[in-house]
Amino acid sequence: MKALGLLTASLVLAGALPAQQVKWNFDKLAARASDTVDVSLSGSLLQFAVKFLSDTDKDQAKVKKLVGGLKGIYVKTFEFKKPGEYSAADVESFRAPLHPPEWERIVGVHSTEDGENVEVYIKSDAKGIGGLAIIATEPKELTLVNIVGAIDLDALSELGGQFGIPEGLEVDKKK
């Protein structure tokens, strides 16, 4: 009886727990990177930012619609002065928390031509996609994205070539 109560409590707690961001450790890379972009928008801050998006600006209105129901967006980009500043083991450490059955890799693109690799992981829940993680590596750049909450992948991809940036060009970097 006691065990049943404990199990019920655990299940209730598990249901009540909010969707969480992926735990990645960036300490080693941060020390080696020459430039870093760090965006961390969780819960209330994200919804606060959404309120400042314009309804009249076409792109911002799309973003508003896309991220309105999200619980968090976390982006980290490391840029290095020369290739080889990060190792395969570093990348593997970022893959480690993205394991099945919680996470599923839906795309893995490896290019020997330009050395660009992109891996896309999704977290499924009862309602569909409950989270997204992207590991993108280039010889001198490593980007990690974690979106918590239901996200429309096509709409997000569509926004990738917008904001006045032609497709194929690199995004801005903040030092």
Cβ 23 to another protein shortest distance, Å: 18
- Does residue number 68 form part of the binding site for another protein (CB under 8 A)? no
Query: Which member of 7, 45, 61, 96 binds another protein (CB under 8 A)?
Result: 45
Give the distance, in angstroms, between the CA of residue 43 and the centroid of all CA atoms in the same chain. 14
Phi and psi based region of residue 89 (left: phi greater than 0; alpha: psi -120 to 50; beta: remaining): alpha
The answer to whether 58 touches 64, Cβ cutoff 8 Å, is: no
Number of amino acids touching another protein (CB under 8 A): 45
List the one residue from 19, 75, 91, 129 that touches another protein (CB under 8 A).
Answer: 75
102 half-sphere exposure, CB direction, 13 A CA radius: 12
- Smallest distance, another protein to C-beta of residue 153, A: 7
Two tokens at 162?
Answer: 């917008």
When asked if residue 46 is in the footprint of another protein (CB under 8 A), the reply is yes
CB of 74 to another protein, least distance (A): 8
The closest alpha carbon to 59, from 173, 174, 165, 170, belongs to 165
Q: Is residue 107 a contact residue for another protein (CB under 8 A)?
A: yes
